[in-house]
Amino acid sequence: MFSQLSDKLQDIFKDLRGHGIISESNIDAALRQVRLALLEADVDFRVAKTFISRVKEKALGESVLRSITPGQQIIKIFHDELTALLGADAAPLCVGDQARILIVGLNGSGKTTSSAKLARFLQKAGHAPALVPCDLQRPAAIEQLVTLGKQIDVPVYAPDPSEKNVQRAAAAALHEVPAPNGGSVHIFDTAGRQEIDQPLIQELKELKEFLQPQETLLVVDAATGQQAVSVATRFNDALAITGIILTKLDGDARGGAALSMREVTRQPIKFIGTGEKLDQLEVFIPERLAGRILGMGDVIGLVEKAAEAVEGEDAAALERKLRSASFDFNDFLSQFKMLRKMGPVENILGMLPGMSNVQGLSIDEKQLKRTEAIVLSMTREERARPDILNARRRQRIARGSGCTVTEVNELLRRFDQMRKMMKSAGKMKKMLKGLQQLHR
């Protein structure tokens, strides 16, 4: 989402680093460009103005201007202020036994899906969540939540079809849902509208008064830009929200809503939705997002994703395979699936420091699927022994995968190169070990 803003900021800072000595006029010129970049990214103009003034105040300090590397110092100031703008520290959920979470927002923002994602997140954290649909106007909302609940094995209270009173439905859910797993955290998915209106706000106020929830989370579509900031302000004024879930951060929108939300509402962004799958909800950590926007990557986040996707035994087995250069297409397929579990490959590469500066970073997901189709079209023996893949077998694999023989040959060529590199690395390791023993 932030690629356009990130590119512009990195160009500005690259130019700033090129100056051996930085003057006030250099800083003013750079910050004017930064301000324009922020406004083009849909950052609220008041937020952009305040942010620039804070950066300028620190950047014009004597310790910066007289520093050996003033450009780097200013980038650090910018990173620190961007982190502060986003909320400084991660804001944990306030949940305990019998906690209640109220989910609010407009239609189309992703409330129902976010409710299910949050339930899965709490489930993994050791809680026993239960989902309660409180949108009694739109039958599809109830059906959708029931379906999502089944996918993650979380109980969902389905109200009586004739029930039109939201408070009565919520009370019935609190009474009935505790079975079968205790329902220690109830998540209430409320009704939305295309626009905020008085009946909607009144209904939500009364429901909140009745439930007394520990958390009132506003779900906002990050792709709606300035409108998202306006929506967040009005919901916060009416309901005193305790946090925000930003959805659709995997899109190609400009992302200014994410940078404005915390400053405008004074409420923390607690989670971000990074995809449509139910496991694609992440705790929002301001410092990491600031690093990614500035091209510094997010290595800690990458390690955490890998740890979730890879079992310890699988990692050890892979290491042994790589050391002995016995890596085959069966291993390739299992690692390919592991990588896909971590999320879109382009997002994963974007978490590596400096990768945002690489031209043509765009990953063709269709090509990745074609590669997977080729490997799946091989027999298990062929995956274990690629050397037996003669012309006739390659033609069969091409037909089975819907690819050309040329594509199959190209994959085999690259795989063979990779195995040779592994062998060379293994031989080099043995040689170095031998040399170490000789010198003992």
Note whether 8 and 32 are within 8 A (CB).
no
pLDDT tens for 264-323 read: 888 888 998 878 888 888 888 888 777 767 765 444 454 445 455 455 555 555 555 555
Domain 304-438 CATH assignment equals 1.10.645.10? no
Q: What is the pLDDT of residue 149?
A: 92
Which tokens is 127 given?
A: 């809680």
Q: What is the pLDDT of residue 425?
A: 52
Summary mean pLDDT of the chain: 77
Q: How many CB atoms lie within 10 A of CB 24?
A: 11
Over 70: is that where the pLDDT of 387 sits? Answer: yes
Q: What is the pTM of this model?
A: 0.66
Tell me which architecture the domain covering 3-86 has in CATH: Up-down Bundle (1.20)
| Range 91-97 average pLDDT | 79
pLDDT band at residue 170 using 50, 70 and 90 as cut-offs: confident
pLDDT tens for 353-362 read: 444 444 444 5
Could you state, in order of their start, the residue ranges of all structural domains in the chain?
Answer: 3-86, 99-296, 304-438
Note whether 322 and 422 are within 8 A (CB).
yes
Over 70: is that where the pLDDT of 254 sits? Answer: no
Beta strand pairing call for 269-273 and 185-190: unpaired
What is the per-residue burial (b if ≥16 Cβ within 10 Å, else e) of 401-440? Answer: bebeeebbeebbeebeeeeeebeeeeeeeeeeeeeeeeee
| Range 87-95 average pLDDT | 80
Q: What is the pLDDT of residue 440?
A: 45
Nearest CA-CA partner of 210 in 162, 160, 174, 157: 174
pLDDT tens for 323-374 read: 555 677 877 777 676 666 666 555 555 554 444 444 444 556 677 788 889 9
pLDDT band at residue 151 using 50, 70 and 90 as cut-offs: very high
| Range 400-410 average pLDDT | 91
Over 50: is that where the pLDDT of 438 sits? Answer: no
Q: What is the pLDDT of residue 285?
A: 83
CATH fold for domain 99-296: Rossmann fold (3.40.50)
Q: What is the pLDDT of residue 176?
A: 74
pLDDT band at residue 428 using 50, 70 and 90 as cut-offs: very low
pLDDT tens for 222-251 read: 777 677 778 888 888 889 999 999 887 766
Residue 389, C-beta contacts closer than 8 angstroms, at least 6 positions apart: 378, 382, 397, 412
pLDDT tens for 36-55 read: 888 888 788 888 888 888 88
Q: Do domains 3-86 and 304-438 have the same CATH topology?
A: no
